[in-house]
Amino acid sequence: MQKFLTMSSIDICIENTLDPELKSIAQKVKDGVRITDAECLALFNKGSLSFVGFLANHIREKLHGHSTYFNRNFHIEPTNVCVFSCKFCSYSRLYAHKEDGWELSIEQMLDIVKQYDGKEVTEVHIVGGVHPKMNMAYFIELIQKIKAHRPDLHIKAFTAVELDYMFRKAKLSVEEGMKQLKEAGLQSLPGGGAEIFHPEIRLQICADKVSGDGWLHIHETAHKLGMHSNATMLYGHIEKYEHRIDHMHKLRALQDKTRGFNTFIPLKFRNANNDMSNVPESTLVEDMRMYAIARIYMDNFPHLKAYWPMLGRQNAQLSLSFGVNDIDGTIDDSTKIYSMAGSEEQSPTMTTEELVTLISQVGRKPVERDTLYNTVRIYEDEAVLN
Ligand code: V47
Ligand code: SF4
């Protein structure tokens, strides 16, 4: 008893862990030493929720204390018409059935931007289906017009899937295409389209779009040009733990090289209205273990994000105890991709006050950030830290 009084909580965790492999992982976390793929598999196979959660929270608080980031952003989805046919997608309409879909003109998208005139948003997130008519010239014009109208708005746009299609159609190398978009005003890439890189799974769930290597090459090129990006992983469907580890391994290795990723975003597979509706969804315990293990393994990613429209508000709140330090933004839009896939969030909009309350309620400190994680405002007063 006397001994425990003088020990830190991580030392008590190490002392009380009987499994030698898990004990050694806990020691590595204490010492700030990277864990191996085999150790990551051990965490997936035998790390209890409380064990991985404790270690992840230790890392999260070492990196960020109680700070929990969000931003004020809005989304634009240019179209839900898509030439690809990912089996998990509840949102796209094949080009052959485009009468069921929507396509926004540049003017309509600019009108959306203008709705935010005078409002304190810092970012527009533009992602959609891959429409064959929306090409490089179209998107360059869109970006230029948004920048001309509102130069201070950070443009985070286009998944590697959209970019790969655009560049191939324009017969441009990734480097040349990316340079042109950057020059037009594109500043960051969102993390979508990553799914699961391993071909064993990728060929079953999204065979016809950019490969895992292609996705990584696009992000590496963006980083080399000085742009930042995010990375996602669609988990909880037909993949095995080994596929998740392979995916995270490739991201961690690229991050060692470029340091261009801001945040890792595990995306929980939702099974409504898609061709994988027969696949059961992961449990809440598995979701929290996923976040925690990602926080432990992805040691060179500064941030771990829970995307609340997909996970639900209360689960996003819970994730703040399992390694997550970012819950995206106010979003404030008509995002359809998640409500169509079965998320509880039929209307994914939260006011800044709601986000601040959500974070404060669990004893964390709300910090409004911009896309690059510069602090915009710290909400000290609202936080009920314990
Ligand atoms: O790549 C599609 C996912 C992603 C389903 O970078 C699904 O800040 C679950 O990447 N169940 C696009 N997920 C969204 C995305 C994103 C979202 C928010 C922030 C950022 C960021 C990026 O949505 C797709 C795919 O992995 N998705 N269908 C589904 N049924
Ligand atoms: Fe198209 Fe993206 Fe849906 Fe795949 S996930 S079908 S690329 S909109």
Give per-residue pLDDT as tens, 341-365.
Answer: 556 555 667 888 889 999 999 999 9
- Tell me if residue 155 falls in helix, strand or coil: strand
Say what the pLDDT of residue 142 is. 97
Cα-to-centroid distance, 134 and ligand 2 (Å)? 15
Dist. CA 69–CA 367, nearest whole Å: 5
8 A C-beta contact, residue 273 and residue 241? no
8 A C-beta contact, residue 130 and residue 384? no
Q: Is pLDDT at 265 greater than 90 in this prediction?
A: yes
- φ and ψ at 82, to 5 degrees? -145, 140
Give per-residue pLDDT as tens, 19-76.
Answer: 999 999 999 999 999 999 999 999 999 999 999 999 999 999 999 999 999 999 999 9
Dist. CA 323–CA 63, nearest whole Å: 10
Residues with CB under 6 A from ligand 2: 82, 84-86, 89, 91-92, 129-130, 161, 206, 209
Cα-to-centroid distance, 192 and ligand 1 (Å)? 5
Say what the pLDDT of residue 336 is. 52
Cα-to-centroid distance, 296 and ligand 1 (Å)? 22
Kindly list the structural domains of the chain, giving each domain's residue range(s) and its CATH number in brackets, ordered by start.
2-64 (no CATH), 67-385 (3.20.20.70)
Cα-to-centroid distance, 158 and ligand 2 (Å)? 12
Nearest to 350 by CA among 384, 375, 316: 316
Sole residue written with tokens 């990006």: 229
8 A C-beta contact, residue 339 and residue 312? no
Nearest ligand for residue 308 CA: 1
Label the pairing between strands 261-268 and 228-235: parallel
Q: Where are the beta strands (DSSP E) in 135-238?
A: 154-157, 188-189, 228-235
Dist. CA 69–CA 45, nearest whole Å: 30
* Residue whose CA is at the smallest distance from ligand 2 atom 7: 84
Give CA torsion, residues 372, 377, 380, 386, to 10 deg.
-20
Dist. CA 341–CA 74, nearest whole Å: 20
Residue of 91, 232, 330 to test ligand 1 pocket, by largest number of atoms within 8 Å of CB: 232
The number of the ligand 1 atom at minimal distance from the alpha carbon of 161 is 1
Amino acid at 131: H
For residue 188, the surrounding DSSP H or E stretch is strand 188-189
Alpha helices by DSSP H, 265-377: 284-297, 308-311, 313-319, 337-340, 352-360
Confidence of residue 331 (pLDDT cuts 50, 70, 90): low
Nearest ligand for residue 86 CA: 2
- Tell me if residue 279 falls in helix, strand or coil: coil
Cα-to-centroid distance, 60 and ligand 1 (Å)? 23
Give per-residue pLDDT as tens, 74-99.
Answer: 999 999 999 999 999 987 766 656 66
Q: What single DSSP character describes residue 79? A: B
Ligand 1 contact via 341 beta carbon (within 6 Å): yes
Nearest ligand for residue 162 CA: 2
Give the mean pLDDT of 170-197. Answer: 98
The number of the ligand 1 atom at minimal distance from the alpha carbon of 342 is 30
Q: Is pLDDT at 334 greater than 80 in this prediction?
A: no
Give per-residue pLDDT as tens, 207-241.
Answer: 999 999 999 999 999 999 999 999 999 999 999 99
Residue % of the chain over a pLDDT of 70: 91
> In this structure, what token pair is assigned to residue 88?
């998990």
Q: Cα dist. 117→41, 111, 241 in Å?
A: 48, 10, 45
The number of the ligand 2 atom at minimal distance from the alpha carbon of 206 is 4
Nearest to 162 by CA among 200, 194, 198, 187: 194
Confidence of residue 139 (pLDDT cuts 50, 70, 90): very high
8 A C-beta contact, residue 246 and residue 60? no
Ligand 1 contact via 230 beta carbon (within 6 Å): yes
Q: Is pLDDT at 120 greater than 70 in this prediction?
A: yes
What's the mean pLDDT when you consider all of the chain?
92
The number of the ligand 1 atom at minimal distance from the alpha carbon of 229 is 6
Q: DSSP string spanning 18-70?
A: -SHHHHHHHHHHHHTPPPPHHHHHHHHHH--HHHHHHHHHHHHHHHHTTEEEE
Cα-to-centroid distance, 195 and ligand 1 (Å)? 8
Q: Is pLDDT at 339 greater than 60 in this prediction?
A: no
Cα-to-centroid distance, 270 and ligand 2 (Å)? 14
Cα-to-centroid distance, 232 and ligand 2 (Å)? 14
Cα-to-centroid distance, 372 and ligand 2 (Å)? 26
